[in-house]
Amino acid sequence: SDLQKREERGELLQPLIFVVLVLCSVLLYFKVSLMDPGFVKPEEEVKAGNSEEQSMVIPQVPSNIKMRRCGYCMVKQPMRAKHCQLCQHCVRRYDHHCPWIENCVGEKNHPLFVVYLSVQLVVLLWGGHIAWSGLYFEQSWDWLQHNILLLMSFLLIVVFTTVVLLLLISHLYLISCNTTTWEFMSHHRISYLRHSELENPFDQGVILNLWRFFC
């Protein structure tokens, strides 16, 4: 492959960068998987109440929408929080429960989840280029025997690249609108969205939405 040829020539910069990117993606995976996504805890109810009051000053959100107590873990849910049946906790600014990381994506780990997807996409694109550069096509059984693993790796990388790319694009779109996957999919069932005059009362423009999410 192209990376192997560079290594044999003593050009170690690109192989080193590739290895570092792979390690970063693995570390980000474990970080996002193991960190608290923003669980609402009983001792944080007062803090959640203050946050809720601040949310109510947004003129687009109906003032008659009050915090409700979760029927599962019995804590007061701040606005935009939802109970996750798999994690058995309410999660602030709940986006979704990701089976890839076996954890919820919420207020605390959502930005890092997007960074993880971005790094993973770069690794997959580069890995796909490396696999493709090692393929030379011949119509013979011997060629297939020697290249079957590399060919299967390339096809697998293409599948994962497509999935990660679509996931990253969808998340960036929702972030730019200041909405979550749960709010987007369940708009008609959420009281503070169903009773709002606007379709999305939290949208403050693309630039400000992105700034507040990442910064």
Share of the chain above pLDDT 90, in %: 50
Which of 192, 175, 176 shows the shortest CA–CA distance to 105? Answer: 175
Question: Is-catalytic flag, 215?
Answer: no
In sequence order, what are the residues at sequence separation of 6 or more whose Cβ sits closer than 8 angstroms to the Cβ of residue 27?
Answer: none
In a domain, 117, yes or no: yes
In a domain, 208, yes or no: yes
In a domain, 107, yes or no: yes
Confidence of residue 47 (pLDDT cuts 50, 70, 90): low
* Residue 5: per-residue pLDDT: 79
In a domain, 192, yes or no: yes
In a domain, 119, yes or no: yes
Share of the chain above pLDDT 70, in %: 85
In a domain, 78, yes or no: no
- Quote the number of domains for the chain: 1
In a domain, 166, yes or no: yes
Q: Is residue 210 scored above 80 in pLDDT?
A: yes
Neighbouring C-beta atoms of residue 53, cutoff 10 Å: 10
Q: Which of 24, 70, 73, 98 is catalytic?
A: 98
Higher-scoring residue by pLDDT: 135, 89? 89
In a domain, 189, yes or no: yes
Domain extent at residue 22? 2-36+99-214
Q: Is residue 113 scored above 50 in pLDDT?
A: yes
* Residue 124: per-residue pLDDT: 96
Q: Is residue 129 scored above 70 in pLDDT?
A: yes
Q: Is 56 exposed, middle or buried (0-12, 13-18, 19+ CB in 10 A)?
A: middle
